Protein backbone atom coordinates (compact mmCIF):
# COMPACT_ATOMS: atom_id res chain seq x y z
CA UNK A 1 0.00 0.00 0.00
CA UNK A 2 2.78 2.45 0.85
CA UNK A 3 4.51 4.05 -2.17
CA UNK A 4 8.27 3.67 -2.47
CA UNK A 5 8.62 7.11 -4.06
CA UNK A 6 6.41 10.22 -3.83
CA UNK A 7 4.11 10.65 -6.81
CA UNK A 8 4.53 14.42 -6.87
CA UNK A 9 0.80 14.95 -6.45
CA UNK A 10 -1.05 15.71 -3.22
CA UNK A 11 -4.78 15.11 -2.86
CA UNK A 12 -7.43 15.76 -0.21
CA UNK A 13 -9.29 12.71 1.06
CA UNK A 14 -11.02 13.95 4.21
CA UNK A 15 -12.41 17.13 5.74
CA UNK A 16 -13.64 18.26 9.13
CA UNK A 17 -14.97 21.58 10.38
CA UNK A 18 -16.06 23.30 13.57
CA UNK A 19 -17.50 26.69 12.61
CA UNK A 20 -19.86 29.39 13.84
CA UNK A 21 -22.36 28.14 11.22
CA UNK A 22 -22.26 24.58 12.49
CA UNK A 23 -20.21 21.59 13.53
CA UNK A 24 -19.51 19.35 10.56
CA UNK A 25 -19.24 20.12 6.86
CA UNK A 26 -22.77 18.91 6.13
CA UNK A 27 -24.20 21.43 8.60
CA UNK A 28 -21.88 24.33 7.83
CA UNK A 29 -21.86 24.32 4.02
CA UNK A 30 -25.63 24.59 3.29
CA UNK A 31 -25.96 27.46 5.76
CA UNK A 32 -23.03 29.24 4.14
CA UNK A 33 -24.62 28.90 0.70
CA UNK A 34 -27.87 30.31 2.07
CA UNK A 35 -25.97 33.41 3.15
CA UNK A 36 -26.71 33.03 6.85
CA UNK A 37 -24.82 35.16 9.34
CA UNK A 38 -23.37 33.55 12.48
CA UNK A 39 -22.63 36.89 14.15
CA UNK A 40 -24.40 37.78 17.38
CA UNK A 41 -23.88 39.11 20.90
CA UNK A 42 -20.90 37.69 22.77
CA UNK A 43 -21.96 34.99 25.25
CA UNK A 44 -18.61 33.37 26.11
CA UNK A 45 -17.70 36.32 28.37
CA UNK A 46 -19.14 39.56 29.68
CA UNK A 47 -18.55 42.08 26.91
CA UNK A 48 -20.60 44.91 28.39
CA UNK A 49 -17.54 47.11 28.98
CA UNK A 50 -16.04 46.51 25.54
CA UNK A 51 -16.58 48.77 22.51
CA UNK A 52 -17.23 45.61 20.46
CA UNK A 53 -19.89 43.36 21.96
CA UNK A 54 -20.45 40.95 19.08
CA UNK A 55 -18.64 37.91 17.67
CA UNK A 56 -19.19 34.74 15.66
CA UNK A 57 -19.19 31.99 18.27
CA UNK A 58 -19.38 28.24 17.73
CA UNK A 59 -22.72 27.02 19.03
CA UNK A 60 -23.88 23.48 19.78
CA UNK A 61 -20.33 22.25 20.36
CA UNK A 62 -19.81 19.76 23.16
CA UNK A 63 -16.20 18.69 23.65
CA UNK A 64 -17.44 15.56 25.44
CA UNK A 65 -18.79 14.33 22.09
CA UNK A 66 -15.19 14.02 20.93
CA UNK A 67 -13.03 13.53 24.01
CA UNK A 68 -12.91 11.82 27.37
CA UNK A 69 -15.18 13.69 29.82
CA UNK A 70 -12.40 14.74 32.19
CA UNK A 71 -10.12 15.82 29.37
CA UNK A 72 -12.92 17.70 27.60
CA UNK A 73 -13.55 19.82 30.69
CA UNK A 74 -9.88 20.58 31.24
CA UNK A 75 -8.34 21.52 27.89
CA UNK A 76 -8.51 24.86 26.10
CA UNK A 77 -11.28 25.31 23.57
CA UNK A 78 -8.88 25.59 20.61
CA UNK A 79 -7.56 22.10 21.38
CA UNK A 80 -11.07 20.65 21.59
CA UNK A 81 -11.94 22.22 18.23
CA UNK A 82 -8.78 20.78 16.65
CA UNK A 83 -9.46 17.31 18.06
CA UNK A 84 -13.04 17.32 16.80
CA UNK A 85 -12.18 18.60 13.30
CA UNK A 86 -9.33 16.08 12.99
CA UNK A 87 -11.59 13.21 14.03
CA UNK A 88 -14.17 14.25 11.43
CA UNK A 89 -11.52 14.52 8.72
CA UNK A 90 -10.01 11.14 9.47
CA UNK A 91 -13.42 9.48 9.61
CA UNK A 92 -14.33 11.14 6.32
CA UNK A 93 -11.17 9.81 4.69
CA UNK A 94 -11.67 6.29 6.10
CA UNK A 95 -8.04 6.57 7.10
CA UNK A 96 -6.31 3.22 7.65
CA UNK A 97 -5.42 2.12 11.17
CA UNK A 98 -2.37 0.10 10.05
CA UNK A 99 0.69 0.96 12.20
CA UNK A 100 2.99 1.19 9.17
CA UNK A 101 0.70 3.83 7.66
CA UNK A 102 0.40 5.88 10.84
CA UNK A 103 4.18 5.75 11.19
CA UNK A 104 4.38 7.76 7.97
CA UNK A 105 1.46 10.10 8.66
CA UNK A 106 2.15 13.50 10.19
CA UNK A 107 0.20 16.33 11.78
CA UNK A 108 0.40 20.05 11.09
CA UNK A 109 -2.41 21.96 12.77
CA UNK A 110 -1.61 25.53 13.75
CA UNK A 111 -3.11 28.33 15.79
CA UNK A 112 -2.37 32.01 15.54
CA UNK A 113 -2.82 32.56 19.28
CA UNK A 114 -3.14 29.20 21.04
CA UNK A 115 -4.77 28.62 24.42
CA UNK A 116 -5.54 32.21 25.30
CA UNK A 117 -8.63 31.40 27.38
CA UNK A 118 -6.77 28.86 29.50
CA UNK A 119 -3.89 31.32 29.89
CA UNK A 120 -6.26 34.04 31.08
CA UNK A 121 -7.84 31.73 33.63
CA UNK A 122 -4.46 30.78 35.04
CA UNK A 123 -3.29 34.39 35.26
CA UNK A 124 -6.37 35.12 37.36
CA UNK A 125 -5.49 32.17 39.60
CA UNK A 126 -1.93 33.46 39.94
CA UNK A 127 -3.02 36.90 41.11
CA UNK A 128 -5.95 35.70 43.22
CA UNK A 129 -4.38 32.69 44.93
CA UNK A 130 -0.66 32.62 44.24
CA UNK A 131 1.69 30.58 42.02
CA UNK A 132 0.93 27.25 43.71
CA UNK A 133 -2.60 27.35 42.29
CA UNK A 134 -1.52 27.69 38.64
CA UNK A 135 -2.32 24.54 36.68
CA UNK A 136 0.56 22.23 35.72
CA UNK A 137 -1.18 22.02 32.35
CA UNK A 138 -0.76 25.76 31.69
CA UNK A 139 2.15 25.50 29.28
CA UNK A 140 1.02 22.45 27.26
CA UNK A 141 -2.57 23.70 26.94
CA UNK A 142 -1.49 27.22 26.02
CA UNK A 143 1.19 26.72 23.35
CA UNK A 144 -0.07 26.82 19.73
CA UNK A 145 1.82 23.68 18.65
CA UNK A 146 -0.19 21.51 21.04
CA UNK A 147 -3.03 21.12 18.53
CA UNK A 148 -0.61 19.09 16.38
CA UNK A 149 0.84 17.25 19.34
CA UNK A 150 -2.57 16.45 20.78
CA UNK A 151 -4.01 15.09 17.53
CA UNK A 152 -0.85 13.08 16.95
CA UNK A 153 -1.25 11.43 20.36
CA UNK A 154 -4.97 10.79 19.94
CA UNK A 155 -4.47 8.95 16.65
CA UNK A 156 -0.98 7.48 16.97
CA UNK A 157 0.35 9.53 14.04
CA UNK A 158 4.14 9.33 14.19
CA UNK A 159 5.23 11.15 11.03
CA UNK A 160 6.34 14.80 10.90
CA UNK A 161 4.69 16.63 13.79
CA UNK A 162 5.08 20.38 13.77
CA UNK A 163 3.24 23.69 13.74
CA UNK A 164 3.24 26.89 11.73
CA UNK A 165 2.28 30.15 13.44
CA UNK A 166 1.80 33.03 11.00
CA UNK A 167 -1.12 34.97 12.49
CA UNK A 168 -4.14 34.92 10.19
CA UNK A 169 -2.18 33.01 7.54
CA UNK A 170 -1.58 30.09 9.89
CA UNK A 171 -4.19 27.63 8.62
CA UNK A 172 -3.22 28.18 4.99
CA UNK A 173 0.49 27.90 5.77
CA UNK A 174 -0.11 24.63 7.62
CA UNK A 175 -1.81 23.17 4.55
CA UNK A 176 0.94 24.50 2.28
CA UNK A 177 3.76 23.10 4.40
CA UNK A 178 1.94 19.76 4.74
CA UNK A 179 1.59 19.71 0.93
CA UNK A 180 5.36 20.15 0.51
CA UNK A 181 6.07 17.56 3.20
CA UNK A 182 4.20 14.94 1.17
CA UNK A 183 5.60 16.09 -2.18
CA UNK A 184 9.17 15.62 -1.02
CA UNK A 185 8.41 12.17 0.42
CA UNK A 186 8.70 12.89 4.14
CA UNK A 187 5.19 11.53 4.76
CA UNK A 188 2.51 9.65 2.83
CA UNK A 189 -0.25 11.64 4.53
CA UNK A 190 -0.68 14.73 6.70
CA UNK A 191 -3.55 15.78 8.95
CA UNK A 192 -3.43 19.57 8.66
CA UNK A 193 -5.31 22.81 9.21
CA UNK A 194 -5.92 25.46 11.84
CA UNK A 195 -7.82 26.04 15.07
CA UNK A 196 -8.59 29.17 17.06
CA UNK A 197 -10.63 30.17 20.13
CA UNK A 198 -9.85 33.86 20.76
CA UNK A 199 -13.17 35.09 22.17
CA UNK A 200 -12.10 35.88 25.71
CA UNK A 201 -11.29 38.93 27.80
CA UNK A 202 -7.69 39.39 26.71
CA UNK A 203 -8.33 38.57 23.06
CA UNK A 204 -11.23 40.99 22.82
CA UNK A 205 -9.29 43.67 24.73
CA UNK A 206 -6.31 43.45 22.41
CA UNK A 207 -8.26 43.74 19.19
CA UNK A 208 -10.52 46.46 20.59
CA UNK A 209 -7.49 48.49 21.65
CA UNK A 210 -6.06 48.10 18.15
CA UNK A 211 -9.37 49.42 16.78
CA UNK A 212 -9.42 46.56 14.31
CA UNK A 213 -12.93 45.28 15.06
CA UNK A 214 -16.34 46.55 14.04
CA UNK A 215 -18.47 48.39 16.58
CA UNK A 216 -21.74 47.77 14.73
CA UNK A 217 -23.20 46.20 17.88
CA UNK A 218 -26.80 47.11 17.10
CA UNK A 219 -26.84 45.08 13.87
CA UNK A 220 -24.65 41.98 14.37
CA UNK A 221 -25.80 40.13 11.26
CA UNK A 222 -24.83 43.11 9.10
CA UNK A 223 -21.57 43.90 10.90
CA UNK A 224 -19.15 41.94 8.70
CA UNK A 225 -19.37 43.55 5.27
CA UNK A 226 -16.23 42.92 3.21
CA UNK A 227 -15.64 45.21 0.24
CA UNK A 228 -18.69 47.31 1.14
CA UNK A 229 -18.15 51.05 1.43
CA UNK A 230 -19.57 51.09 4.98
CA UNK A 231 -17.26 48.44 6.44
CA UNK A 232 -15.69 49.46 9.74
CA UNK A 233 -13.67 46.46 10.97
CA UNK A 234 -13.67 42.70 11.30
CA UNK A 235 -15.83 40.42 13.45
CA UNK A 236 -13.82 38.14 15.70
CA UNK A 237 -14.69 34.45 15.41
CA UNK A 238 -13.63 30.98 16.50
CA UNK A 239 -13.48 27.58 14.87
CA UNK A 240 -11.31 24.99 13.16
CA UNK A 241 -10.90 23.10 9.91
CA UNK A 242 -8.73 20.06 9.22
CA UNK A 243 -7.92 18.33 5.94
CA UNK A 244 -6.38 14.92 5.35
CA UNK A 245 -3.79 15.24 2.58
CA UNK A 246 -2.30 12.16 0.95
CA UNK A 247 0.20 11.24 -1.70
CA UNK A 248 -1.85 10.57 -4.82
CA UNK A 249 -0.42 7.09 -5.40
CA UNK A 250 -1.07 6.11 -1.78
CA UNK A 251 -4.64 7.40 -1.89
CA UNK A 252 -5.34 5.55 -5.15
CA UNK A 253 -3.77 2.34 -3.87
CA UNK A 254 -6.00 2.26 -0.81
CA UNK A 255 -9.13 3.20 -2.78
CA UNK A 256 -9.69 6.54 -1.03
CA UNK A 257 -12.20 8.97 -2.42
CA UNK A 258 -10.42 12.05 -3.76
CA UNK A 259 -12.10 15.35 -2.89
CA UNK A 260 -9.64 17.61 -4.66
CA UNK A 261 -5.96 18.26 -5.26
CA UNK A 262 -3.64 20.89 -3.80
CA UNK A 263 -1.79 22.21 -6.83
CA UNK A 264 -0.20 25.46 -5.68
CA UNK A 265 1.15 27.24 -2.60
CA UNK A 266 2.58 30.74 -2.63
CA UNK A 267 3.92 32.78 0.25
CA UNK A 268 5.68 36.11 0.75
CA UNK A 269 6.46 38.85 3.26
CA UNK A 270 5.44 42.50 3.08
CA UNK A 271 8.37 43.81 5.17
CA UNK A 272 6.22 46.88 5.69
CA UNK A 273 4.29 47.14 9.00
CA UNK A 274 3.33 44.93 11.94
CA UNK A 275 -0.42 45.15 11.25
CA UNK A 276 -1.15 47.21 8.12
CA UNK A 277 -0.82 45.70 4.62
CA UNK A 278 1.56 47.21 2.10
CA UNK A 279 -0.73 49.70 0.29
CA UNK A 280 0.70 48.63 -3.08
CA UNK A 281 -0.25 45.03 -2.33
CA UNK A 282 3.19 43.93 -3.44
CA UNK A 283 3.46 40.98 -1.06
CA UNK A 284 -0.02 39.74 -1.88
CA UNK A 285 0.76 39.98 -5.60
CA UNK A 286 3.90 37.89 -5.17
CA UNK A 287 2.04 35.30 -3.12
CA UNK A 288 -0.66 34.89 -5.77
CA UNK A 289 1.77 34.83 -8.70
CA UNK A 290 4.01 32.29 -6.94
CA UNK A 291 1.00 30.10 -6.30
CA UNK A 292 0.00 30.19 -9.97
CA UNK A 293 3.56 29.53 -11.07
CA UNK A 294 3.86 26.51 -8.77
CA UNK A 295 0.50 25.25 -10.01
CA UNK A 296 1.58 25.70 -13.63
CA UNK A 297 -1.44 27.82 -14.50
CA UNK A 298 -2.16 31.27 -15.84
CA UNK A 299 -4.67 33.82 -14.54
CA UNK A 300 -7.33 32.65 -16.98
CA UNK A 301 -7.40 29.19 -15.34
CA UNK A 302 -8.63 30.46 -11.98
CA UNK A 303 -12.40 30.20 -11.68
CA UNK A 304 -12.94 31.50 -8.15
CA UNK A 305 -11.02 33.28 -5.38
CA UNK A 306 -11.93 33.07 -1.72
CA UNK A 307 -10.56 36.41 -0.58
CA UNK A 308 -8.98 37.20 2.75
CA UNK A 309 -11.66 39.93 2.80
CA UNK A 310 -11.67 40.90 6.47
CA UNK A 311 -14.10 43.85 6.27
CA UNK A 312 -11.43 46.31 7.36
CA UNK A 313 -11.00 49.50 5.35
CA UNK A 314 -7.34 48.91 4.43
CA UNK A 315 -7.30 45.15 3.80
CA UNK A 316 -10.20 44.98 1.36
CA UNK A 317 -8.96 47.89 -0.73
CA UNK A 318 -5.41 46.55 -0.81
CA UNK A 319 -6.46 43.00 -1.67
CA UNK A 320 -8.62 44.25 -4.53
CA UNK A 321 -5.70 46.25 -5.91
CA UNK A 322 -3.39 43.23 -5.52
CA UNK A 323 -5.77 40.90 -7.38
CA UNK A 324 -5.88 43.34 -10.28
CA UNK A 325 -2.08 43.42 -10.39
CA UNK A 326 -1.67 39.64 -10.06
CA UNK A 327 -4.31 38.66 -12.62
CA UNK A 328 -4.34 41.72 -14.83
CA UNK A 329 -7.27 44.11 -14.54
CA UNK A 330 -9.27 42.55 -17.38
CA UNK A 331 -8.87 39.01 -16.04
CA UNK A 332 -9.49 40.10 -12.44
CA UNK A 333 -12.88 41.51 -13.39
CA UNK A 334 -13.90 38.14 -14.83
CA UNK A 335 -13.05 36.09 -11.72
CA UNK A 336 -15.73 35.77 -9.04
CA UNK A 337 -14.38 36.68 -5.61
CA UNK A 338 -16.14 36.22 -2.30
CA UNK A 339 -15.38 36.73 1.35
CA UNK A 340 -17.06 34.12 3.51
CA UNK A 341 -15.92 36.10 6.56
CA UNK A 342 -19.07 38.12 5.86
CA UNK A 343 -20.98 35.17 7.35
CA UNK A 344 -18.64 33.47 9.83
CA UNK A 345 -16.39 36.34 10.84
CA UNK A 346 -12.62 36.15 11.07
CA UNK A 347 -11.37 32.96 12.72
CA UNK A 348 -7.78 34.24 12.69
CA UNK A 349 -5.38 31.27 12.60
CA UNK A 350 -8.14 28.91 11.47
CA UNK A 351 -9.36 31.14 8.63
CA UNK A 352 -7.00 29.87 5.92
CA UNK A 353 -7.93 26.25 6.60
CA UNK A 354 -11.67 26.94 6.68
CA UNK A 355 -11.43 28.91 3.46
CA UNK A 356 -9.39 26.23 1.70
CA UNK A 357 -12.13 23.80 2.69
CA UNK A 358 -14.72 26.20 1.25
CA UNK A 359 -12.83 26.22 -2.06
CA UNK A 360 -12.94 22.40 -2.15
CA UNK A 361 -16.68 22.43 -1.51
CA UNK A 362 -17.23 25.10 -4.16
CA UNK A 363 -15.39 22.89 -6.67
CA UNK A 364 -17.35 19.82 -5.59
CA UNK A 365 -20.78 21.44 -5.91
CA UNK A 366 -19.89 23.94 -8.67
CA UNK A 367 -21.38 26.66 -6.49
CA UNK A 368 -19.87 29.91 -5.25
CA UNK A 369 -20.65 31.12 -1.73
CA UNK A 370 -21.71 34.77 -1.51
CA UNK A 371 -20.33 37.87 0.12
CA UNK A 372 -23.28 38.99 2.21
CA UNK A 373 -23.97 42.56 3.39
CA UNK A 374 -22.63 43.95 0.13
CA UNK A 375 -24.95 46.95 -0.21
CA UNK A 376 -22.96 50.09 -0.96
CA UNK A 377 -20.19 49.59 -3.54
CA UNK A 378 -16.80 51.07 -2.77
CA UNK A 379 -15.21 52.67 -5.86
CA UNK A 380 -11.86 51.20 -4.77
CA UNK A 381 -13.34 47.70 -4.44
CA UNK A 382 -14.83 47.11 -7.86
CA UNK A 383 -14.56 43.38 -8.65
CA UNK A 384 -17.25 40.71 -8.81
CA UNK A 385 -17.76 39.85 -5.13
CA UNK A 386 -20.67 37.41 -5.67
CA UNK A 387 -22.94 39.83 -3.80
CA UNK A 388 -25.50 38.45 -1.34
CA UNK A 389 -26.51 35.25 -3.15
CA UNK A 390 -24.71 32.01 -3.98
CA UNK A 391 -24.11 31.36 -7.67
CA UNK A 392 -23.66 28.31 -9.88
CA UNK A 393 -20.41 28.23 -11.85
CA UNK A 394 -18.20 25.92 -13.87
CA UNK A 395 -15.02 25.54 -11.85
CA UNK A 396 -11.83 23.56 -12.21
CA UNK A 397 -9.43 25.59 -10.04
CA UNK A 398 -10.07 27.83 -7.04
CA UNK A 399 -7.66 29.95 -5.01
CA UNK A 400 -7.70 31.21 -1.44
CA UNK A 401 -5.85 34.19 0.02
CA UNK A 402 -4.75 34.53 3.64
CA UNK A 403 -2.85 37.50 5.02
CA UNK A 404 -1.59 38.00 8.58
CA UNK A 405 -0.19 40.53 11.02
CA UNK A 406 3.55 40.71 10.51
CA UNK A 407 3.17 40.93 6.74
CA UNK A 408 2.51 37.25 6.05
CA UNK A 409 0.88 36.45 2.69
CA UNK A 410 -0.26 32.98 1.67
CA UNK A 411 -2.19 31.72 -1.35
CA UNK A 412 -3.39 28.16 -1.99
CA UNK A 413 -4.72 26.71 -5.25
CA UNK A 414 -6.98 23.65 -5.30
CA UNK A 415 -8.18 21.66 -8.26
CA UNK A 416 -11.31 19.65 -8.84
CA UNK A 417 -10.67 15.90 -9.20
CA UNK A 418 -11.13 14.41 -12.63
CA UNK A 419 -14.00 12.03 -13.29
CA UNK A 420 -11.52 9.13 -13.30
CA UNK A 421 -10.50 9.93 -9.70
pLDDT digits (tens, 9 = 90+) for 112-124: 999 999 999 999 9
- The residue annotated as part of the active site, out of 346, 359, 381, 408, is 346
Whether residue 24 is found in the same domain as residue 111? yes
Parts of the chain with a pLDDT under 50: none
Domain tally, the chain: 2
Query: C-alpha 302: how far from its chain's center?
Result: 20
User: Which pLDDT belongs to residue 2?
Assistant: 80
Q: Which domain holds residue 337?
A: 265-415
User: Which pLDDT belongs to residue 279?
Assistant: 92
Residues 97, 384: Cα–Cα separation, whole Å: 45
How many C-beta atoms lie closer than 10 Å to residue 152's C-beta? 24
**Residue 222 domain-assigned (yes or no):** yes
User: Which pLDDT belongs to residue 418?
Assistant: 81
- Domain end point (choices 206, 228, 253): 253
User: Which pLDDT belongs to residue 420?
Assistant: 64
Select from 345, 285, 357 the least CA-distant residue to 309. Answer: 345
Residues 414, 261: Cα–Cα separation, whole Å: 5
Contact in structure between 241 and 81 (CB atoms under 8 Å): no
**Residue 90 domain-assigned (yes or no):** yes
Whether residue 275 is found in the same domain as residue 394? yes
Contact in structure between 264 and 274 (CB atoms under 8 Å): no
- The residue annotated as part of the active site, out of 168, 192, 208, 381, is 168
- Domain end point (choices 191, 218, 253): 253
Select from 22, 86, 84, 83 the least CA-distant residue to 56. Answer: 22
Whether residue 89 is found in the same domain as residue 220? yes
Cα atoms in the 13 Å half-sphere on the side-chain side of 261: 20
Whether residue 172 is found in the same domain as residue 44? yes
pTM of the model: 0.97
Whether residue 228 is found in the same domain as residue 305? no
CATH number of the domain within which 411 lies: 3.40.47.10
Catalytic residue list contains 308? yes
- The residue annotated as part of the active site, out of 208, 291, 308, 381, is 308
User: Which pLDDT belongs to residue 393?
Assistant: 97
CA distances from residue 288 to 42, 112, 166, 319 in whole angstroms, order as listed: 35, 22, 17, 11
User: Which pLDDT belongs to residue 5?
Assistant: 85
- Domain end point (choices 195, 224, 253): 253
**Residue 421 domain-assigned (yes or no):** no
Amino acid sequence: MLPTEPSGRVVVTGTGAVTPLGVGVDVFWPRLLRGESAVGPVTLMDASDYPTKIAAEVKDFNAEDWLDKKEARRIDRFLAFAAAAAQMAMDDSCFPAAPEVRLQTGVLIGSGIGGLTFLGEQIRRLYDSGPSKVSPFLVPYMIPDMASGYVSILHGLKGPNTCVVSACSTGADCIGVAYHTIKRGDAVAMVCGGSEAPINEIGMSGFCSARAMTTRNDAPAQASRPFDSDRDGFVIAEGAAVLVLEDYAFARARGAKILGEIVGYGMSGDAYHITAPDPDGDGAVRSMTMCMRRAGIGPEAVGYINAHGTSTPLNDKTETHAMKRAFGEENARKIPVSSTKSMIGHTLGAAGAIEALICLLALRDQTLPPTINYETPDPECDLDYVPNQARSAKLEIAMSNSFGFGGHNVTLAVKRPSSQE
